[in-house]
Amino acid sequence: MQATLARSFAASKRTLFHDVPLWINGQSVTSKKSFDVKHPISGEIVSRVSASEEGDVQAALQSSNQAFPAWSRLPAHERRTVLNRVAELLEERKGLFSEVYGRETCVGGLVRHVDWTYSMIHIKEAASLATQIKGDIPQTVDGSLALVLREPYGTVLSISPFNFGLTLAIRAIVYPLTCGNTVLLKASPLIPETHFLLGQLFKDAGLPDGCLNILQFGNEDVGAMVDRVIGDPRIRMVNFTGSEAIGKVIGESCGRHVKPVLLELGGKACALVLETADLEAAAHAIIFGSNIHSGQTCMCTERAIVVESVYDEFELIIRGKGKELAAALADSTKTAVGEMEVAGEGPARKVRGLVEDALAKGATNLTDDLVSLEDHHASKVQPVLLSGVTSDMKIYFEESFGPALSLIKATSTAHAVEIANSSQYGLSSSIWSKDIMTALSVARSLECSAVHLNSTTVHDESSLPHGGHKSSGSGRFNGSYAIQSFTQTKTVTFRTGEGMAPLDLLA
């Protein structure tokens, strides 16, 4: 199957290769420097991408800064109209975005459809918030009238990843925009053309020039360039979605430059399977949660923590689900899961290394008898289900960001909570139990920002806050919670009594 894909790709000369420019002040700009993006399977060059130089960065920052006053003062209903038009145009251009994203990543059609659907939902949610940005009139001690206003920051630097590449880039753009900010998007080097297309999309929807700029950086200087952008006084706030390692670098840079930052980082999502769980339903949801988008989402289920009274029965059931998954992989058009096939050899090598370490230390591979797919590749990893995972194994604590699920035995519900909370991450989790009161009690004990009862860990709603606890980050995207992230408060007071000050210092 993958060999056919690779041959088809190589034969299609129209895809080899695309020049991808920058998007600055409402127009495409070609830089003198460039870097190549290669197809993850065939190794052929997919695109040649302009790499931002200092002049490009300065032009983008200047246009963002100049566009901010007018955009921030634009009546809220007009900002809403622009965003609603973005949704209309994205619907018309679904085929274009799907084709480009699929060509850059090999992501299956079903995942691309889900990505597009959630992008549409986020745009419409953000548009609905434009007229919901509210302040407050708190009581004061001295009797003066006080107004607490919520105002945009200015230019927001948004840094977006490759996975669910349309949804997460859209999210990083529309929530700051609806709050009156302008946006400088640092696009993913793995899907540069997908992110570049957003510039023309927003411009055609009526977004004024300068309100959205899109830059790319070459691998040799990306760190220094991003740090320089963060340090520029015209950048007033930063949001980053990606790995914990890079998040620490971004956070440290924001700290040095005293910039507010929203970090949505990695996860080690756990599913707690308790004594009264519906084991069949739990196994189905956990297999799905572990393998959607090849395990390459921050909410993917990496740990199934099962109480020992049902462990053996659950292991038997989920092993059967693994066989069902193997059959589903034979037809990638009917499943949202599959072999790891997006991020390249480095991430795939990490997953294989974690699995090999676990097996060497006594874990059992329950997927040994899965049907093998043809044409294995260095940047691909088949789904793996490990039983008997213990704390001396690297995979017990490290995020794999791939289709690798660990079964961990707990002696009791309390022990299951202890294991769950031993992770440095705290993004998403699920609890499987027919005893809702017990499940609610456990939910309150888990150190993570989202807990889903009798459901998968992969759950993100545009109206619900999304972000992490602990090393999974800070700050929140989505819905009215995003207003808190992308606006700042200003207090205005009016003295209503006599005198200009509470003390007469001249008496």
Query: pLDDT by residue (tens digit) across 394-436?
Result: 999 999 998 899 999 999 999 999 999 999 999 999 999 999 9
Assess whether pLDDT exceeds 50 at residue 14.
no
In angstroms, the CA 363 to CA 319 distance is 14
Q: SS3 of 134, please?
A: coil
Q: How confident is the model at residue 161 (pLDDT cuts 50, 70, 90)?
A: very high
Is residue 286 in a domain?
yes
Predicted structure pTM score: 0.91
Q: How confident is the model at residue 10 (pLDDT cuts 50, 70, 90)?
A: very low
101 & 226 share domain: yes
> What residue type is 383 in one-letter code?
P
pLDDT at res. 466? 95
Per-state percent for the chain, helix, strand, coil, to nearest 5: 45, 20, 35
CATH of the domain at 289: 3.40.309.10
Active site residue 298: yes
Q: SS3 of 450, please?
A: strand
Q: How confident is the model at residue 15 (pLDDT cuts 50, 70, 90)?
A: very low
Q: Comparing C-alpha atoms, which of 213, 210, 209, 208 is closest to residue 198?
A: 213
pLDDT at res. 12? 38
Assess whether pLDDT exceeds 90 at residue 3.
no
Number of domains in the chain: 2
340 & 435 share domain: yes
What average pLDDT does range 455-471 have in this prediction?
94
Phi, psi dihedrals of residue 484, rounded to the nearest 5°: -65, -35
Active site residue 398: no
The more confident residue out of 256 and 376 is 256
Q: Comparing C-alpha atoms, which of 422, 442, 445, 421 is closest to residue 431?
A: 442
Q: How confident is the model at residue 374 (pLDDT cuts 50, 70, 90)?
A: very low
311 & 416 share domain: yes
158 & 140 share domain: yes
> What residue type is 76 in one-letter code?
A
Q: In Å, how far from its chain's centre is CA 300?
A: 12
Assess whether pLDDT exceeds 80 at residue 340.
no
pLDDT at res. 256? 97
69 & 215 share domain: yes
388 contacts: CB under 8 Å, gap ≥ 6: 362, 363, 364, 407, 409
Q: SS3 of 360, please?
A: helix
Task: DSSP letter for 64, please.
Answer: H
Other beta carbons within 10 angstroms of residue 4's beta carbon come to 10
Is residue 133 in a domain?
yes
Name the active-site residue from 179, 298, 300, 448.
298
Length reported for the chain: 507
b (16+ CB within 10 A) / e for 273-309: bbbebebeebbbbbbbbbbbbbbbbbbbbbbbbbbee
> What residue type is 480 in one-letter code?
S
Name the active-site residue from 104, 193, 244, 264.
264
pLDDT at res. 236? 98
Task: DSSP letter for 336, please.
Answer: S
Is residue 45 in a domain?
no
Q: SS3 of 415, please?
A: helix
Q: Identify the domain containing residue 129 by its residue range.
A: 51-265+472-490
The more confident residue out of 71 and 104 is 71
256 & 279 share domain: no
Q: Comparing C-alpha atoms, which of 152, 108, 154 is closest to residue 293?
A: 108
8 Å CB contact between 282 and 432: yes
pLDDT at res. 499? 56
250 & 288 share domain: no
CATH of the domain at 167: 3.40.605.10
pLDDT at res. 500? 59
295 & 390 share domain: yes
104 & 177 share domain: yes
The more confident residue out of 403 and 64 is 64
Assess whether pLDDT exceeds 50 at residue 502.
yes
244 & 336 share domain: no
Task: DSSP letter for 183, please.
Answer: E
233 & 370 share domain: no
pLDDT at res. 439? 97
The more confident residue out of 206 and 379 is 206
305 & 210 share domain: no
End-to-end C-alpha distance for the chain, whole angstroms: 90
Q: Comparing C-alpha atoms, which of 302, 299, 272 is closest to residue 399?
A: 302
Q: Which two tokens stand for residue 320?
A: 């059967």
